[in-house]
Structure formats: C-alpha cells, structure tokens
Structure 1
Amino acid sequence: MKPSQQVLELATTVPGATTDDLLHKLLANLTALLGARRAYVTEVVDQGVSRTVASWEDDKRGPAREYKINGTPCAMVMRDGTQVVDCALGERYTLDESSLGYGCQSFVGSPIVGHGGERIGQLCVFGASPLGDPEMASALVAMAAVRVSSELEHRQQEAALAQSEAYSKAIVATAAEGIVTVNAKGQIESFNRAAEKMFGYSEKEIVGQDVHVLIPEQYRNQHAQHVTRFFETGKASIIGTGREVTARRKNGSVFPIHLAASEVSLGGERCFAGIIRDVSEQKAAEESLRATERRFRAVFDQRLQLVAILSPAGIVLEANQRSLDFTGLQRDQVIGREFWATPWWTHSPELQQRMKYAIQAASQGESLQFEVTKPRKDGELGILNLSIRPIMDKLGEVVFLLCESHDITEHKQAAEEARDHRERMAHVSRLSTLGEMAAGIAHEINQPLTAISLFSQAGKRLVEAGQFDKMDEVCFKLNEHALRAAEVVERMQSMARQGENLKELVDCNELIESTVRLAESEARIYDIQIEFDRGTDLPPILVDGVQIQQVALNLLRNGMEAMIAFDERKGCPINIATRLNDHKEIEVAVTDCGGGVPRNRMDKLFTPFSTTKKSGMGMGLSISQAIIRAHGGRIDFCNTESCGARFWFTIPASEKESHNGR
C-alpha cells in the first residue's frame, strides 16, 4: 500500500465509533501499518507522570496504567513539544519492565496539543525492531496525533457537558426553592424535590398535568387571561419579575408563595420556569412581628416615664407618646434629629450642651442621671429626673442609648412645701425652747447688767472725786460686761431667727461649743455641769448650723430635765461628745444621768405630740428627727448601764480637709 493510501486509511478509520473504540482501533491500525509492537495515547497526570488513555499491546488492548516518563523518550516529547523519532532505542535508554518501551528497539512519539496550545499528552509507538521507513512512521504518527487531539477534545467537551447537566439536575433537584417548568401549552414538564414537598405531589404524578392544578380555583381564570395576553402582546405581569401569589396544595389547602417566573427557549420551543418559595412561615413571622410591634408600641407609649431611644451618635430613633404629649410635640419634630437639638431642650442652650456631653459619655459606655427642666405643653417648665444609659450587644459594643425621665415637678413642689413646713415647725420649736429657757437667759443677762450698773455708779463717784486716772479700768469693765450681755442676746437672736435653710461648711466642734454656751445659762440654775468631749481630726460638715444647734440643744435640755426629775443624780454631769464613727460620719452624742427612757415610751419617742411633760408639745424629738434626716443622717437612742440615756445623731462628713479639735 502506498504511503498516501496508508494515511487515508488511518484518517478514515471507523467513522462514527465512540471515542474509546476509535482510539483503540486507531492504535491497532497504526501498529499494523508500522509493524510496531505497542502504541499508546497518554495524558498528563502530574509533573513527570502520565496515564494511558488507550493502549494497544501485542495485537490486543492493553491495561490502563500510570507511569513515570523521566528517563524515557516520552520525557523529550513532553519537554520540547516536538515529535521524536528514535530507531536505536535500546542503545540510548535503559528501560525496565515498568516502562512502556521495555524490550523495544524503536520509538515514534508526537505531542497531543489542546485547543489552547497546551501539551495535554502524547501518542507514542514502540517497535520491536528498527523502523523500516522512519519518514512514513513520522507522518503517520503525526497524522494520528492530530486525530487523537480532536477526539480527546470532543471527549472532554462531552464530559464537561455531561457534568454540567448532572450539576444542573443536582442543583435543581436539591434546591431549597421549588422549581417547576411548564411548556407553552401550560403542561408541567419538571417538578423538583422541593416542589414535591411544598405541593404534596410526586414528580411522576404531576408531570404532564396542567399547571392550573397548582392554582386556587378562584384565580385560574385570571391566570389564563394573563397567559393569553402575554402570547398576544408579549407583555407579562410576572415574567422576569417576582411577586407574592396564592398557590394550592394537593390536599386543597392554599398557602402564600413568592413566584419568580422566566421564559426560556429550548429547541425553538417556548418554555417557562418558575422558582417558588413558600412564604407561609415568613408571613406568619411578619404578622407576629407586627403583633409584637403593636404590643411594644402599646406598652412603650403607655409607660409612665418619658422614653426616647437614641443612636450612639445621639439621633432620636424612637420616642414614646407620653414624651411627645408632655411638651405637645409631633413625632416628625423629634424623630431623626439630634437629641440635644429637639424642641425638648431649645429653651436652654446650657442644657443643650449638657445633653450633648452626656450622650458622648453614654456612647462610651457610661450611665448618667441628673435633673433637668423641660417645657410642658402649658408653657410652664417641668422638672424631670433624667437618665441616659447605653444598651450593648454581646460583644460589648454600644448599639443604642436609652433615655428615660419622669416628671418630678409635683414631688419637688411637695418636698419644698414639706421643707417649708419643717422649717416653720422648727422655728416654732426654737421659739418655744427659748421661752422655756427664759429664766436662765434672764439670769445670764442680769449678771452683766448688774455689773454694768455697779461699775457705772463707781465711775460716777470717781468723776465726782476727780479721780480720773481710774476711769480706764472702769470703762474696760463696762465694755466687758456689755459684750457679755450682747453675746447672750446674739445667741438668742440666732436661735429665734427663721433662716433660709442655707447649708455651709462648718466645724462641728465650734457648732456644738456655741450650743453648750447657750445651754449653760439654764444648766447653772439647776446646778448641772455640762461636759464637752471634743473629737479630734473631724472633717467639716455641710449643714444648716442653726438647725443642728437646735437638735443638739433639744437633746441637752431633754437630758437635763430628766436629771432634774431623777432624785439620785447626785451632781452627775451631762456629757456631749463628738467623734468620727466607723462609717466615716460625724456623730454627736448626749449622755445624761436621768434614769433612762421607760420601756413603754421607746416606740413612741419620735412620734409627734407624744410627751410626758406637763408643758411640752411633744414635737422636739420629732422635729429633730426630721432635721437630721433632711441632712442625710440618723438619730437614735439607748439606755446606759449607769441609769441614764444616750441620744446621738450622725451627719455625713464633707470631703473637704479635716479640722483638728481644739
């Protein structure tokens, strides 16, 4: 056979055969034409490793195998990408039993090149003896390599198409959404697993049926009209878009779905695909969310507090109805605006700035609380107790700020009225106390007045006698006793004065010392000695001095009255002491020797109008308790082992420097 005929025979081998059959038939013909022993089609597996796609060995199909090409002529073909013809194989290579060319003497190999120019494998032929016509062998192998390349590409395309179809079918079959295809006649052609689960039909029983079985009866005519209009005009209400519609299950129940429909053309025929998602749970969740929102809004709007929800930057996200009604505002006047710029705070630039700083602090995780004023819808300013606190997520990040406030205007007014009432009662009590002390005070004043009278008479006689040199001493004594009388009067005026409840930092020891001096005038009448034990290193206290003096004086006078009524006191003194207790409070205690508090009086001791005195009002201890509580302290008592009573009260210490007792 002529070489041209051999090439033609090789090129037209087994037309229409499968790729696998064609490759083996081609290798069989090639070995026959060349008188070769073996022929292979290989593909690259890895660097230096190839795998046989088809093999022909000793006139029959050979097994598939992987082999290393290093140290064989196949390596040169893959490395250089050119045909290699070797008629002295045994002399150039040492091939073991694992090599494709083991026991052969000649080799012809051509690379198989893919459509992108890459080397994807090779066609190689091994002869048991040297080639008879190397040029013819080279041409035939090159021709066969081109044919193999074409077949391998075709096989790869078929494999890729088959894989793509398999992937598509798997995706459609396993998709979470229902996927249904319908032909132009309205007949269902495919129905995936999700659609089966959704509608209750199996694919076998639904394919071929009209799509109307999936549509509730009341909507079927409407659907038919849409389809007719689409075919006539090309205008669709749902094709290419998605919307919610109502569908029908096999059992007749209806449910909401989201349908996204599209039109495709397969083989010149129109086909429609629908991707269906059951939105029953979504609709139920939306309704639940709306119900929750309604409940939240009802509770939110009816809260007693004025509430606003802010972003970390201070933008008002939400405000309850009560906060709007308080000032007479509408939602659009506050929602979406900076909190400090809303009409709630525009009445005070200082308050606006304070709100801005407070929000900055809250956005950093700090909680704040303070009193503010806010305009009411009647035009008056209300007083609010306002708090701003951050709300954080699980990571500790501030997600929004919660601002709550409640109107304390009436509470503040009531507290102010109560304070005024307490002040009036305390003033009345002080006046009553001064009235009861009148005898002692008169005696205290009479002593310097008597001395002044005597020294005036003595001065007159000295003047008449012309002894002017002694008048300096007389005038000094007159001034001394006048100042003494003025001091007594000043103490009386201080106690009688109705002050303005102004608190100031004072030294507790100095305050109690002045109280002792005021009480001593009465104590001397009854021959009672007042001992004062000063505490040391006492911090100052922020108090209304007159009120604290009133409490201390009331305890001293009560103790002295108990001692006067107790026959066995035997000259025992009454003691008043100051100290810093374990709670870092200033404690003032009065200890008497007056027989103690009877058991039947202990529970009612601080009750208003409760007294055992014939002339007392029963308000002293009650007013004292109110004064001390207003100063943030406590007042209490106990009986002592020495047949007396100990009354004490505490006042919070100020954080200023301490004052040493003197």
Structure 2
Amino acid sequence: MQHLNTLVRLIREQAPLTARAAALCRLCATRPGAGRSLYLGWQGRTYEPLGGGQLPPGHGDPLQASDDALHAALASQARLSLVELARLPCWLAGRLKRAGMQEGLALSLSLGSGQDGLLLIEGGAEAAAWLDWTGELLSGLLSLAGGALPTAPLLSADPLPALLLDEQARPLEANEALRGLLAEGVADDALSLLPGNHAHLVRASLERGRSIIDVPSEANGRHFLWSFIPEPGQRRVLARCREATAQLRDAREAARARRLYRLITENTTDLISRHTLDGVFLDASPASWTLLGYWPEELRGQPLQPLVHPQDLEQVAERSRDALIQDGYLTQTYRLRHRDGHYLWFETASRAIRETYTGAVVEVVSVSRDITARVRAEENRRRLAEVVEANTDLVLFVDPAGRLTYLNPAARVALNLPEGQTLPGLATLLDDELRQHLQREGWSGAQRQGAWYAEGRLCPCGDRPSLPVSLVLLAHRAAGDERYYSLVARDMTERELRDAEHRRHQDELAHTARLVTLGELASGIAHEINQPLAAVVNYAGASQRYLQMLGSNPDAAQRVAQGLARITEHANHASEVIRRLRAFLRKGQRRMQALDLGELARESLRLCTWEAGQAKVTIEQALADNLPPVYADRVLLEQVLLNLLRNAIDANRERHAGEPSRIVIGSMAQPGGWLAVRVEDDGPGATPEALERMFTPFYTSKPEGLGLGLSMSRGIVEGFGGTLEAHPVEGGGLRLECRLPAAGSQGQRHEKD
C-alpha cells in the first residue's frame, strides 16, 4: 500500500517521469511471484528503460534498431505476453532474449500525458493469477491519479511537515516530511497532529482570506506550532507546522530559572546587591534587613562607604575599584556597621558588568556573606595555637594510626626532636609499661570517655634519660567523623625529685622515731635479752657440774649434751632479738617487697609484749590466715603497726590505771582487692574534734608526746597506696584501721624508687 500511495502522490505532484517509473517498478516488485520489472519510454524509434533498470543491446546494428512493429502492435492491443513480444521483428525482442526475460507481461501504460510507455513484468506460473488483471488495474488507477486535483505547488518541496486540507478540514495530501513525522510514531494519523479546533481554523482562514499562524498542538509529549495558509481559488488550506518542543522547553526553563533566581534572591541568607563602580547601592536583596538592619529601599541610592569600618575603608574604596576595572572580579573581607552600631565581618565576592561594545564597567554585582562567627573562631584558634606553642607542657597530635603529626616546641626540646626531623611513631617514645597500658586501656578509654589519664615515662631520642610524666590522652572527632587524638604530658621530674626528697626526710624522721621508740622499749628489750642470757648461765653451770661427775654418774654425758643444746637455743633466741632490733633500726632506701601482713603483725607484737605485760594489757590476735601479700617496705610498715599497738597500750593504761584490760589486733580481706589491719583499744576514746585533728602533725593528747607518730604513720601508709583512719568504738575506746591494696590488685599504686 505504501508504494501505491507513493506512485499516486508522484503522479498528482507531476514528479519527473523517472521518479514515477521507479515507483511503479517498486510497486510491481512487491507482488507474489514477480521477478524483474522495467518501465520503458517510447523514444521515437525504440523503447528505452526509465527509472533505473537496464537492458543489454539487441542483435544487429544499433543504428538500424527499431521497435516500430511493437509500437504498432501495442496501439491495437494494450497487453502482450513476453512470448508474443519475442516473436515480433523488433529491437526489444532481442534485448529481452539476451536479458533472459522469457515469461511475463508487456503492458502499454502511460505515466504522463503525451508520453507512451511500456511496463515489463517478469513472472512465471505463480504470477499468472494476477498478471491477467494487473494491466486493467494499473491503467484505471493511473487514470484516476492523473485526473485528481493537483496538490499545492510547493507541498512536496516544503521541508516542514505540511498537510493539504479541503474546506471541510479533511486531509487531501501530506508531504514527505509529515509522513516521516508520522512514521516516528508521534501520532496515528495526520489529523491527530492538528490542533483540536483545526476545523474552525480552516473555515476562518478561508473566510478571511489570510493566514493564521503559530497555533499550538501537542502529541505524544511533543509540541508543534501550526500555520494555516488559505488557497481561496481552490477552497483548500495548506497547514504547515514546525516542532517547538525545544523552544517551549527552553522557555519554561528560562521562566523556571527566573523564578528560581527570584526565590534565591529573596530567601538567601547572603546579601546580593548591585552597585555602581563608586559603591552606590542600586539594589539589594531582602537579606539586608537580617544582616545590616536596613531594608533594600533604604539602601538604594546610598553609598557603601559610610557603613565600612574606618580601618577597612581604604581597602574597600580604592583597591576594589582598580581590581574590578582591571580583572573584573574581586573577593575581599572587611567590616560593615550594623544599624545598631556594632560591626560585623563580611566576605564579599564582586563581579563587574561591562558594556558590550566599549567594555566600560556599568555596574557591580556582589554577594556578601556574614563571616563574623568564622572570623572569631579563627581568632580563637589562632590564640589557642599560640597558647599551645608557648605552653611548657608537652603537646603532641596523634592520628588514628598512632603517628605523630605535630609537636609543640616544649615537646621537641624534651624529646630531643629538632625542627625538620622526621617524627617517629608514638609507641617509640613510651616505655614498655606505659605503651602496654596505652594499648590495653588508653585508646578505648579516650574514645569512650573523651579523655584518659595516666602516669608513666617518655623516652627521648638519643641518649637522654627517660622523663617521668603525667599525661592526658584526648580523643577528638573531625567533621567527617574521623578520630584523631591529642596527648598533653607534664614533665614530673621536679615532682619526682621532691617526692624522693620527701621520702628521704620521712625516712629520716621515721628512723629517729624508731630510735625514740627503742629507748622507750629499753626495759622490755633488756628483759627479752636477760632471760635467754640467764638461762645460758644456768645451763652452763649445770653442764660444768655434770662434767665433774662423768666417772660416777652414767647420765652425766647426756645431761651435758642437753645443757649445750639448751644453751644454743637460748643464744639463738637472744641473737634473733638483736637481729629484730637491728632490722627495726635499719636506715637506708626503701625496699618494696611482697609481705605477709599477719606475719608482720606478729613481729610487731613481740617488740611490745613486755610493755603490754607491765601495763597489765592483754593483746588478743584475730589475724586471718592465707591472705594475699601486700607490697610495702617491711621496716616502715612494721613501724606503723608498732606505733598503733603502743598508742593502744597507752590509751588502756590511761583509762584503767594498772587494772587488767585488753587490745584486739585483727586482719581481714575487704572487697575491691583491699586488706585491713585493725587495732582496737579499750581506752577513753576521742571526741569528734580530736578525731578530726588526730592525724595533724604535732597534735597529741599525751603530756610528753610530740604529735608526730600518727601523722607520720598516715604518710607512710598513703605512700604505699593505702589509708589510715580512726573510728570510735561503742562503749568507749578507739579503732585504728590501716587499709592496704593487695599486691597485683587494681587499687595498688607502685612506688618507684
């Protein structure tokens, strides 16, 4: 059907004969069983192919070629079979034979007025069914097409889609551009592309005798603008269209952009303004009220300079003009005065708008942003950076991988890292204990709580000795949720020296106190030594007597041996007493070791047993077995326990005045890894005021006391990481409790020598 429509259109449009011939051959080639199709035009003596087909030359001299016999036969008979044509004495018969066309139909057919033509259709038995009536059908069809109303002269040549309509708005003919548009699937037919009121438009165009242009229509999402051009003589209208999809889209985008620009201008928090080159306001966005306290109407026609801070006026007034003229753009930071009188920092990006032909600056468009908060934050950061740089503490910045990224000058000096030297990893600057502590608890603790505190030692580069430090690890979170850390370390060398000096003084004082205590225990010590010495003398005398009776008494030798054994036993006892006294009086550096608290309490009891007996005081023991050890100095801790026992004996002596009384010393384990030793007396007790001042240096209730025993004892215990407290006992008396961390517990604090 498409080829048939094309042939009819070409005939109505009076297209060239070759184009009509080619369309006719394409139409015939679509029939079932059809072979080659050729259309030949009469050239006065011979038939020659038109529309692209070719035939070989016939037999004989071409100059003598003639198809007159065939032309005459077709004048009386409109159709011949190719077999019949081959019997005629004509030039074409030889040509067809040489071309191999033996079966088919030869049809006399004119494609134009005054022009004879011949259609050759090759076909075998399959084509016989339709070849018989093809000639009559084509003749009638071409006759109708030739007699139909001709199309508009420029319809076929119009590059825009066009449609010829009659006065009833019915389509007469469409050009190739319109058919191509329909082939794209834009619409089902041509009428669907027309505006909905196209019938009224056709009548109006014919009645008024003038064109109607740019009538919009839409089909399948595409937009068209139609023009209706009347042809009053023929009572028909040529409808032409052009696609306006892109144009309408651009127009909508432009309108949307204008609305968006207006919305941005009216709602942005930045100040958008237009100025002359000299700084006079031409216009401003409503943000001027929020930022400066002025409405746009108040700023129009006003100069900018009175609002600029005096220190920034030269930069804004002079440098900006030169930069805009030369470069066309400028970004600057300055202060503007608010209507209330205070100044705000602004960052302004300006661009010059030039005259098209001369290039002169006609106005300036500026976008100003309030950066007061940012400037203040930068100033705070600058001040903070100066503080960090000048800080005598060591400040180190650490990334999540544990690499150092920054050290302040104090840290570089302390760690022997000159400027420009590659920074090592943090782990190389920590001693083993601190490094393990940081790895085990530090990073996680800082992330969880924001800060982690510890004490340890830093190892500077080179041969410098390690530094004792108290450090804080701070965890920070960047804007991208990335972790980073700061390490602030304080050099504790001076404190360590002071602590060592304090311990030395404390040890001196404790040694003096031990000497005083030894003097006070002199009677008991003499008794402790005299007893074994007297026993040694007695056993020595008895042994001498038994030696004289060796000949007469058979048991004499055995008695002598027993006496010597007892002499050895009592001599060792006296030696042990002297050893304990020498250990108690020992003077030197502290030696921290794991101690059995029960054993140490019993050693202290032996030193004051004689004194307790003289005061008729019974010491009851409630010492638990199998307690974990404590980590302390034996002599100092024994001195503390002895001091507590002697104070309890004095308290009982004061209250009971020679009457029998008792003291209880006990030990036990407490929750949290603590061990406690309690000494509970039966004395007069203490008032609340006395309890508060009991551990104050030089406070005492004894007429001959110095008031240093309990104060010194508390200092010793706290040095071991423990506590020493006093509590009243119901019914009178006082209980002194010494609490120490068990060795290896979390509460333990190791004291470094």
TM-score category by the smaller chain?
0.5 to 0.7
Residue 9 of structure 1 corresponds to which residue in structure 2?
152
For residues 689 and 431 of structure 2, the distance between their equivalents in structure 1, rounded to whole angstroms, comes to: 59
Instruction: Report if the CA contact (8 A) 2:392-2:410 is conserved.
Output: yes
TM-score w.r.t. length of structure 2? 0.56
Find the partner of 1:441 among 513, 525, 535. Answer: 525
For residues 244 and 311 of structure 1, the distance between their equivalents in structure 2, rounded to whole angstroms, comes to: 35
Residue 402 of structure 2 corresponds to which residue in structure 1?
314
Equivalent AA in structure 2 for residue 465 of structure 1: M
Equivalent AA in structure 1 for residue 331 of structure 2: E
Residue 426 of structure 2 corresponds to which residue in structure 1?
340
Find the partner of 1:507 among 587, 596, 607. Answer: 596
- Once the two structures are TM-superposed, the CA of residue 552 in structure 1 deviates from its matched residue by 1.6
Instruction: Report if the CA contact (8 A) 1:45-1:51 is conserved.
Output: no
Instruction: Report if the CA contact (8 A) 2:433-2:456 is conserved.
Output: no
For residues 196 and 689 of structure 2, the distance between their equivalents in structure 1, rounded to whole angstroms, comes to: 121
Residue 384 in 1 paired to residue 384 in 2? Answer: no
For residues 625 and 724 of structure 2, the distance between their equivalents in structure 1, rounded to whole angstroms, comes to: 21
- Once the two structures are TM-superposed, the CA of residue 308 in structure 1 deviates from its matched residue by 2.6
Using the aligned pairs only, state the percent identity: 22
Find the partner of 2:648 among 552, 556, 559. Answer: 559
Instruction: Report if the CA contact (8 A) 1:575-1:590 is conserved.
Output: yes
Aligned length: 527
Find the partner of 2:349 among 255, 258, 277. Answer: 258
1:619/1:58 Cα in 2 relative to 1: closer, same or farther (>3 Å)?
closer
Equivalent AA in structure 1 for residue 474 of structure 2: R
1:53/1:626 Cα in 2 relative to 1: closer, same or farther (>3 Å)?
same
For residues 405 and 51 of structure 1, the distance between their equivalents in structure 2, rounded to whole angstroms, comes to: 85
TM-score w.r.t. length of structure 1? 0.63
User: Which consecutive unaligned segments of at least 5 residues does structure 2 have?
Assistant: 1-10, 15-148, 204-218, 225-236, 266-270, 290-294, 302-314, 337-344, 551-555, 746-753
Find the partner of 1:548 among 637, 640, 644. Answer: 637
3-state DSSP of counterpart to 1:456: helix
For residues 306 and 586 of structure 1, the distance between their equivalents in structure 2, rounded to whole angstroms, comes to: 38
Instruction: Report if the CA contact (8 A) 2:331-2:350 is conserved.
Output: yes
Instruction: Report if the CA contact (8 A) 2:721-2:741 is conserved.
Output: yes
For residues 264 and 516 of structure 2, the distance between their equivalents in structure 1, rounded to whole angstroms, comes to: 94
For residues 254 and 737 of structure 2, the distance between their equivalents in structure 1, rounded to whole angstroms, comes to: 96
1:49/1:355 Cα in 2 relative to 1: closer, same or farther (>3 Å)?
farther
Residue pairs, 1:549-628, within 5 angstroms: 549-567=638-656, 570-581=659-670, 585-597=674-686, 602-613=691-702, 615-628=704-717
Equivalent AA in structure 1 for residue 521 of structure 2: M
3-state DSSP of counterpart to 1:151: strand
1:320/1:529 Cα in 2 relative to 1: closer, same or farther (>3 Å)?
same
For residues 346 and 673 of structure 2, the distance between their equivalents in structure 1, rounded to whole angstroms, comes to: 73
For residues 453 and 617 of structure 1, the distance between their equivalents in structure 2, rounded to whole angstroms, comes to: 41
For residues 441 and 403 of structure 2, the distance between their equivalents in structure 1, rounded to whole angstroms, comes to: 10
1:535/1:359 Cα in 2 relative to 1: closer, same or farther (>3 Å)?
closer
3-state DSSP of counterpart to 1:54: coil
- Once the two structures are TM-superposed, the CA of residue 433 in structure 1 deviates from its matched residue by 0.9
Residue pairs, 1:19-58, within 5 angstroms: 26=165, 28=167, 31=170, 52-54=193-195
For residues 190 and 723 of structure 2, the distance between their equivalents in structure 1, rounded to whole angstroms, comes to: 96
For residues 348 and 729 of structure 2, the distance between their equivalents in structure 1, rounded to whole angstroms, comes to: 87
Residue pairs, 1:205-284, within 5 angstroms: 218=318, 222=322, 238=327, 242-244=329-331, 257-259=348-350, 276-282=365-371, 284=372
For residues 470 and 316 of structure 2, the distance between their equivalents in structure 1, rounded to whole angstroms, comes to: 60
- Once the two structures are TM-superposed, the CA of residue 543 in structure 1 deviates from its matched residue by 2.1
3-state DSSP of counterpart to 1:390: strand
Equivalent AA in structure 1 for residue 635 of structure 2: V
Equivalent AA in structure 1 for residue 383 of structure 2: R
Instruction: Report if the CA contact (8 A) 1:24-1:54 is conserved.
Output: no
1:193/1:171 Cα in 2 relative to 1: closer, same or farther (>3 Å)?
farther
Find the partner of 1:475 among 557, 561, 564. Answer: 564
Instruction: Report if the CA contact (8 A) 1:440-1:522 is conserved.
Output: yes
Equivalent AA in structure 2 for residue 54 of structure 1: P
For residues 288 and 3 of structure 1, the distance between their equivalents in structure 2, rounded to whole angstroms, comes to: 85
1:475/1:49 Cα in 2 relative to 1: closer, same or farther (>3 Å)?
farther
Residue 454 of structure 2 corresponds to which residue in structure 1?
369
Residue 382 of structure 2 corresponds to which residue in structure 1?
294
Equivalent AA in structure 1 for residue 456 of structure 2: E
3-state DSSP of counterpart to 2:447: coil
1:448/1:3 Cα in 2 relative to 1: closer, same or farther (>3 Å)?
closer
Instruction: Report if the CA contact (8 A) 2:653-2:683 is conserved.
Output: yes
Instruction: Report if the CA contact (8 A) 2:668-2:677 is conserved.
Output: yes
- Once the two structures are TM-superposed, the CA of residue 423 in structure 1 deviates from its matched residue by 1.1
Instruction: Report if the CA contact (8 A) 2:331-2:349 is conserved.
Output: yes
Residue 407 in 1 paired to residue 491 in 2? Answer: yes
1:45/1:521 Cα in 2 relative to 1: closer, same or farther (>3 Å)?
farther
Residue 426 of structure 1 corresponds to which residue in structure 2?
510
1:582/1:274 Cα in 2 relative to 1: closer, same or farther (>3 Å)?
same
For residues 32 and 643 of structure 1, the distance between their equivalents in structure 2, rounded to whole angstroms, comes to: 128
Write out per-residue CA displacement over residues 426-475 of structure 1, whole angstroms, 9 at most, x where no aligned residue: 11111211111111111111111111111111112222222323322122
Equivalent AA in structure 1 for residue 500 of structure 2: E
Instruction: Report if the CA contact (8 A) 2:616-2:658 is conserved.
Output: no
Q: Work out which of the two has the higher radius of gyration on C-alpha atoms and give 1 or 2.
A: 2
1:274/1:357 Cα in 2 relative to 1: closer, same or farther (>3 Å)?
farther
Instruction: Report if the CA contact (8 A) 2:187-2:193 is conserved.
Output: no
Instruction: Report if the CA contact (8 A) 1:638-1:646 is conserved.
Output: yes
1:290/1:388 Cα in 2 relative to 1: closer, same or farther (>3 Å)?
closer
- Once the two structures are TM-superposed, the CA of residue 608 in structure 1 deviates from its matched residue by 3.0
1:52/1:4 Cα in 2 relative to 1: closer, same or farther (>3 Å)?
closer
3-state DSSP of counterpart to 2:558: helix
1:412/1:585 Cα in 2 relative to 1: closer, same or farther (>3 Å)?
same
For residues 546 and 462 of structure 1, the distance between their equivalents in structure 2, rounded to whole angstroms, comes to: 44
1:561/1:330 Cα in 2 relative to 1: closer, same or farther (>3 Å)?
same
- Once the two structures are TM-superposed, the CA of residue 192 in structure 1 deviates from its matched residue by 9.8
3-state DSSP of counterpart to 1:491: helix
Instruction: Report if the CA contact (8 A) 2:726-2:736 is conserved.
Output: yes
1:196/1:627 Cα in 2 relative to 1: closer, same or farther (>3 Å)?
closer
For residues 521 and 462 of structure 2, the distance between their equivalents in structure 1, rounded to whole angstroms, comes to: 54
Residue 111 of structure 1 corresponds to which residue in structure 2?
none
Residue 542 of structure 2 corresponds to which residue in structure 1?
458
For residues 196 and 580 of structure 1, the distance between their equivalents in structure 2, rounded to whole angstroms, comes to: 73
Residue 519 in 1 paired to residue 608 in 2? Answer: yes
Residue 493 in 1 paired to residue 615 in 2? Answer: no
For residues 158 and 322 of structure 1, the distance between their equivalents in structure 2, rounded to whole angstroms, comes to: 70
For residues 153 and 288 of structure 2, the distance between their equivalents in structure 1, rounded to whole angstroms, comes to: 56
Write out per-residue CA displacement over residues 345-384 of structure 1, whole angstroms, 9 at most, x where no aligned residue: 66x8869976995899469936462322465999776432
For residues 434 and 164 of structure 1, the distance between their equivalents in structure 2, rounded to whole angstroms, comes to: 105
For residues 12 and 153 of structure 2, the distance between their equivalents in structure 1, rounded to whole angstroms, comes to: 11
Instruction: Report if the CA contact (8 A) 1:362-1:401 is conserved.
Output: no
Equivalent AA in structure 1 for residue 170 of structure 2: T
For residues 10 and 296 of structure 1, the distance between their equivalents in structure 2, rounded to whole angstroms, comes to: 88
1:502/1:436 Cα in 2 relative to 1: closer, same or farther (>3 Å)?
same
Residue 630 of structure 1 corresponds to which residue in structure 2?
719
3-state DSSP of counterpart to 1:487: helix
